[in-house]
Amino acid sequence: MDNLAMPMAITSSYTRVQCLQRQAASLLLYQSVLQGEVGMAFLELLQAIRYTEADARGCLQAYGSYFHALAARNQNWEDYLITQILFSDNPFTRLAGVREFEDLPPALVTAVQHDLQVLQSLYECSSASLSEWVQGVAHMPISPVVWYKEQELVGVETKFTTYLQELDNWGDAVEELAAYYRQCGSGLFAEYRALRWQSGQFIGIRYSDPVKLSTLVGYESQKDALLKNTEFLLSGEMALHVLLYGSRGSGKSSLVKSLLNEYSNRSLRLLEVAKSDLKDLPEIVEHLRGVSQKFIIFVDDLSFEEDDDAFKALKVVLEGNLTARPQNVVVYATSNRRHLIREFFVDRPTPKDNEEIHAWDTMQEKLSFSDRFGLTLTFEPANQKTYLKIVQHLVAQAEINITQEDLEFQALQWATRHNGRSGRTARQFVDFLKADLTLFHANKNISNT
């Protein structure tokens, strides 16, 4: 760029930046798109470019922050902007998830049209353009490095991205966008398949347990019953709350977590709630009411002390109150105890003065709490036959080459020396066996070279 062209280019970038800033400030519903780290870095870079005459170093630092934010997310600016649109949580996205497009308020549709046109302008402000502007205003001989990577969006995200790229005017995409929210939901529930309730809010789990249903062997009748109940939930029928009770290591938790990997493409979400947060359960259920996805509230290792507030909150959700139960929510709980409330011998009633007259009724309420789950699945300790069947299945999946005799001998030795026969013990044994054989062959190859 020659010296005469430089001032004109700088003036042009100032004008363009001012326009982009005004457009960004005019967003009516999709402000959240620019409130993340990348969006804030983008806005701060625009500001630095506009007022860079005071100190060009500030402009370069702002560009560095913008580049760092994109690299940290491993996304291009264009991909980031579209995913933020798809995952946005605002009045339009929530209403579009539960209503037909024709039933949405006209003012809301008009606001979305405006916002989409604004976001199209921001989308077209590429990282390459920003780099060139920074070069001009900072008087650099070359432009800063541009962050770029190949697009990796998948599924409906790729389809919608392609659709937007082919549109001259994003304002025409409102109906298509509403259809996306109706199918996939919005906000955290669209972005994450697994979540947890923590400190009074939903937290997305980016890397959920990858356990698959096909890896779980044994307890076939329990598995079939849980799958059937989950199908009821996904079909919009009234599914039952489920208690999975039995010995430790039998695969109760893994079975529940595997449902997510089996059915997440059918809008199933798994929400983990710790026992300490069960007091919030009625509030959680109300948050989920009317959301397009189906939710399994997962409570692991459940048990209660007497007069536990968590017990009372769970009882309300299981038994219901004046508020109708939402059909898109069920509770799946695991426990090592058949009777979920701890009972002591001192609790048993004796005919003494100053004691509760109907003490037997109180004790029976404690003992029968597990009956409030519509479905109880019992997982008995694995016998030797079941244990070896699980081991053989896992070894076959891991493609480990070992004789049947050696496998059974080592597996039984492992169970004796460690945690007894269970699905968990079988998994630990096979993981160890695979690592041990891999290391053995690696060392053998080294010694032969």
pTM score of the predicted model: 0.77
Q: How many CA atoms lie within 13 A of 395 on its CB side?
A: 20
Give residue 401's identity as a one-letter amino acid code: N
Q: How far apart are CA 54 and CA 247, in angstroms?
A: 70
Q: For the segment 7-16, what is each residue's pLDDT rounded down to a tens digit?
A: 545 556 778 8
pLDDT recorded at residue 224: 94
Q: How many CA atoms lie within 13 A of 416 on its CB side?
A: 6
pLDDT recorded at residue 53: 62
Q: Which of 288, 276, 360 is nearest to 314 (CA)?
A: 276
Q: How far apart are CA 52 and CA 58, in angstroms?
A: 7
- The alpha carbon of residue 187 and the mean position of all alpha carbons in its chain are separated, in whole angstroms, by 11
Q: How far apart are CA 203 and CA 360, in angstroms?
A: 42
pLDDT recorded at residue 292: 83
SS (H, E, C) 130-182: HHHHHHHHCCCCCCCCCCCCCCCCCHHHHHHHHHHHCCCCHHHHHHHHHHHHH
Task: Return the structure tokens found at 150.
Answer: 């190949």
Asked whether the beta carbons of 120 and 170 are under 8 A apart, the reply is yes
Task: Return the structure tokens found at 423.
Answer: 């699905």
Asked whether the beta carbons of 349 and 317 are under 8 A apart, the reply is no
Weakly modelled stretches of the chain, pLDDT under 70 = 1-12, 52-55, 151-156, 304-309, 320-323, 337-370, 447-449
